[in-house]
């Protein structure tokens, strides 16, 4: 027998093992000041490329006013209790109605957090007779939802439609015995690599197989499609998505999320989703803030146009400069370099301290050993000057990386 605390003291977890050296700089950094293209990090202004503030709504004057007015009028206590018991309100229902109209779905349920909502939705939609088939690069909230599923689950390699077909064949055989159903879960835009889920191809498989499609479009809502209604709209298959998930945490720069589907499914979720039944409703200022953001998202297409102007300039500029950015089809912009984890750390340090550029770094085990991924998130509040400056700075650090300037097991203090 072991003591739980002793076990934890020996095994700190894949990221926790770096906590002592990384905390406050590489992990848990504090970005201060108004949310914009430039913010303060450790007392100095830096160019920020790591916030999912796609449309620049976080600090939009109309948004700030709506948030402040709603907080002054209602406070954060209202409504009290879960929606089902005592926490329902007209603004909650208004927001659900407006989201349904925007998403061209019959009904919508608000979720307090995207992550929890996704986990709980998966938990409530399937039982032990059902099979879930999912993409191998699915977000943690999908993976954690699967952990609650006591029936079978089959994974297909990322966006591999031929393999998905095989998994659907297996699943179809299995549910013939269990008398269950099949739920396919994938994403609209994959948040690390930026490529889209092949929704069109997945939907086409409905001609051959009997399944329902659940799409997590956290990064696609507000950024993809003609009106911003997401990746289903972008690929012309909105109707083929049976259950659509979007979060407020990215394009809307808020907290909360939603699921849109047909009336019966949403009613089922309202009465069966444990994360909503057993938790307090979204506070009123968040709901009213979301109504304002949705209005801007719908009525100001220039925000999405600007996001894409910056995205296209950044991605084509990086490619023209010889950088490897993978297969992104969305604003998410990964830049792949080769190097060790200490090299990645020193490179980030150089970028932050000497170029005043703040971006996220992703290393093994999220990407293969020897790969350093810098992840840039363009927004509508960036400028073309920001883009050019960043590409030139990236050229410098790539040169340094290749010249071995960052090669050391320790932080290269000369960079500080
Ligand atoms: C693909 C995906 N799904 C779900 C979530 C969770 O959303 P939330 O931040 O609203 O909990 C995120 C956010 O990180 C995400 O990227």
In the listed set 270, 299, 328, which residue is the last one of a domain according to the structure?
A: 299
Residue 230: which of 251, 203, 254, 202 has the closest Cα? Answer: 251
Confidence of residue 19 (pLDDT cuts 50, 70, 90): confident
User: Which atom of ligand 1 is least distant from the CA of 116?
Assistant: 11
- 139 within ligand 1 shell (Cβ under 6 A): yes
Residue 381: which of 30, 52, 31, 42 has the closest Cα? Answer: 52
pLDDT at 413: 65
Report the percent of the chain where pLDDT is more than 70.
Answer: 98
Same-domain status, 136 and 231: yes
Tens-digit pLDDT profile for residues 214-236 = 999 999 999 999 999 999 999 99
Is residue 1 situated within a structural domain? no
pLDDT tops 80 at residue 10: yes
Same-domain status, 107 and 160: yes
CATH number at residue 232: 3.40.640.10
- The answer to whether 233 and 217 have CB atoms below 8 angstroms apart is no
Same-domain status, 28 and 100: no
pLDDT tops 70 at residue 415: no
pLDDT tops 70 at residue 16: yes
From 224, 247, 259, 293, give the residue whose CB has the most ligand 1 atoms within 8 Å, as the site to mutate: 247
- Give the whole-angstrom CA distance, residue 131 versus residue 212: 11
From 51, 115, 290, give the residue whose CB has the most ligand 1 atoms within 8 Å, as the site to mutate: 115
- 245 within ligand 1 shell (Cβ under 6 A): no
In the listed set 267, 284, 299, which residue is the last one of a domain according to the structure?
A: 299
pLDDT tops 80 at residue 14: no
Confidence of residue 410 (pLDDT cuts 50, 70, 90): low
pLDDT at 365: 82
Same-domain status, 225 and 278: yes
- Give the whole-angstrom CA distance, residue 319 versus residue 180: 47
- 118 within ligand 1 shell (Cβ under 6 A): yes
Is residue 2 situated within a structural domain? no
Structure tokens given for 381: 């509040």
- Give the whole-angstrom CA distance, residue 257 versus residue 96: 11
Provide the CB-side half-sphere exposure for 174 (13 A, CA).
Answer: 20
pLDDT tops 90 at residue 13: no
Instruction: Report DSSP state, residue 415.
Output: G
Confidence of residue 411 (pLDDT cuts 50, 70, 90): low
Range scoring the smallest mean pLDDT among 6-20, 33-47, 119-133: 6-20
Structure tokens given for 215: 């799409």
Atom 3 of ligand 1, nearest CA residue: 218
Atom 15 of ligand 1, nearest CA residue: 218
Is residue 53 situated within a structural domain? no
- The answer to whether 337 and 325 have CB atoms below 8 angstroms apart is no
- Give the whole-angstrom CA distance, residue 401 versus residue 345: 11
pLDDT at 38: 98
Instruction: Report DSSP state, residue 112.
Output: S
In the listed set 276, 299, 322, which residue is the last one of a domain according to the structure?
A: 299
Same-domain status, 185 and 249: yes
- 217 within ligand 1 shell (Cβ under 6 A): no
Residue 114 Cα to ligand 1 middle (Å): 5
Residue 45 CB contacts under 8 Å (≥ 6 apart), including other chains: 33, 38, 39, 356
- Give the whole-angstrom CA distance, residue 270 versus residue 111: 10
pLDDT at 414: 65
Confidence of residue 416 (pLDDT cuts 50, 70, 90): low
pLDDT at 333: 98
pLDDT at 366: 84
- The answer to whether 154 and 131 have CB atoms below 8 angstroms apart is yes
- The answer to whether 234 and 191 have CB atoms below 8 angstroms apart is no
Same-domain status, 118 and 224: yes
Longest dimension (CA), the chain: 66
pLDDT at 363: 87
| Peptide bond between residue 363 and the one before it cis (omega within 30 degrees of 0) | no
- 282 within ligand 1 shell (Cβ under 6 A): no
Same-domain status, 132 and 238: yes
Confidence of residue 172 (pLDDT cuts 50, 70, 90): very high
Structure tokens given for 393: 């700075």
- 110 within ligand 1 shell (Cβ under 6 A): no
Q: How many domains does the structure of the chain reveal?
A: 2
pLDDT tops 70 at residue 46: yes
Helix, strand or coil, per DSSP, at residue 70 = helix
- 331 within ligand 1 shell (Cβ under 6 A): no
pLDDT at 43: 96
Helix, strand or coil, per DSSP, at residue 57 = helix
Tens-digit pLDDT profile for residues 266-322 = 999 999 999 999 999 999 999 999 999 999 999 999 999 999 999 999 999 999 999
Is residue 55 situated within a structural domain? no
Is residue 270 situated within a structural domain? yes
Report the percent of the chain where pLDDT is more than 90.
Answer: 91
Helix, strand or coil, per DSSP, at residue 356 = coil
Same-domain status, 182 and 276: yes
Average pLDDT, the chain: 96
- 218 within ligand 1 shell (Cβ under 6 A): yes
- 58-92 burial, b for 16+ CB within 10 Å, e for fewer? bebeebeebbeebbeebeeebbeebbeeebebebb
Q: How far is CA 30 from the centre of its chain?
A: 20
Rg (the chain; Cα; Å): 22
Residue 133: which of 84, 173, 89, 86 has the closest Cα? Answer: 173
pLDDT at 112: 95
Full domain range(s) for residue 322: 11-48+301-415
Atom 10 of ligand 1, nearest CA residue: 114
Is residue 121 situated within a structural domain? yes
How many residues does this entry show for the chain?
416
Confidence of residue 334 (pLDDT cuts 50, 70, 90): very high
Is residue 3 situated within a structural domain? no
Same-domain status, 210 and 101: yes
Q: Which residue has the tokens 């998966």?
A: 122
pLDDT tops 80 at residue 166: yes
Same-domain status, 208 and 83: yes
Same-domain status, 306 and 283: no
Tens-digit pLDDT profile for residues 106-151 = 999 999 999 999 999 999 999 999 999 999 999 999 999 999 999 9
CATH number at residue 316: 3.90.1150.10
Is residue 6 situated within a structural domain? no
Range scoring the smallest mean pLDDT among 83-97, 153-167, 206-220, 359-373: 359-373
Same-domain status, 100 and 228: yes
- Give the whole-angstrom CA distance, residue 248 versus residue 254: 5
């Amino acid at each position: 027998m072991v003591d739980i605390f002793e076990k934890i003291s020996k095994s700190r977890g894949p990221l926790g093992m770096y906590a002592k050296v990384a905390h406050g700089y590489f992990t848990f950094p504090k970005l201060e000041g108004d949310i914009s293209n430039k913010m303060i990090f450790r007392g100095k202004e830096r160019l920020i490329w790591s916030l999912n503030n796609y449309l620049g709504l976080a600090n939009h004057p109309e948004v700030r006013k709506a948030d402040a007015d709603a907080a002054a009028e209602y406070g954060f206590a209202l409504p009290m209790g879960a929606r089902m018991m005592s926490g329902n309100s007209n603004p909650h229902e208004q927001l659900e109605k407006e989201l349904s109209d925007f998403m061209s779905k019959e009904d919508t349920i608000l979720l307090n957090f995207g992550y929890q909502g996704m986990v709980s939705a998966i938990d409530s939609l399937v039982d032990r007779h059902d099979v879930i088939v999912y993409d191998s690069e699915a977000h943690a909230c999908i993976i954690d939802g699967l952990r609650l599923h006591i029936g079978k689950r089959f994974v297909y390699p990322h966006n591999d439609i031929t393999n998905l077909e095989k998994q659907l064949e297996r699943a179809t055989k299995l549910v013939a015995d269990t008398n269950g159903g099949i739920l396919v879960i994938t994403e609209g835009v994959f948040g690390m690599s930026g490529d889209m889920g092949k929704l069109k191809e997945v939907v086409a498989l409905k001609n051959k197989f009997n399944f329902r499609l659940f799409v997590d479009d956290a990064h696609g809502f507000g950024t993809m499609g003609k009106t911003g209604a997401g990746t289903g709209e972008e690929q012309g298959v909105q109707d083929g998505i049976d259950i659509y998930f979007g979060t407020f945490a990215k394009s809307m720069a808020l907290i909360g999320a939603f699921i849109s589907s047909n009336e019966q499914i949403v009613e089922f979720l309202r009465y069966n989703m444990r994360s909503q039944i057993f938790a307090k409703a979204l506070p009123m200022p968040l709901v009213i803030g979301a109504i304002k953001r949705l209005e801007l998202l719908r009525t100001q297409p220039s925000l999405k146009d600007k996001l894409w102007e910056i995205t296209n300039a950044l991605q084509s500029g990086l490619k023209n400069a010889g950088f490897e950015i993978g297969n992104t089809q969305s604003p998410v912009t990964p830049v792949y370099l080769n190097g060790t984890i200490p090299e990645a750390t020193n490179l980030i340090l150089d970028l932050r301290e000497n170029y005043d550029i703040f971006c996220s770094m992703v290393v093994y085990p999220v990407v293969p050993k020897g790969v350093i991924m810098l992840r840039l998130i363009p927004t509508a509040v960036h400028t073309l000057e920001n883009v050019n400056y960043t590409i030139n700075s990236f050229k410098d650090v790539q040169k340094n990386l290749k010249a071995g300037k960052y090669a050391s097991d320790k932080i290269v203090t000369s960079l500080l």
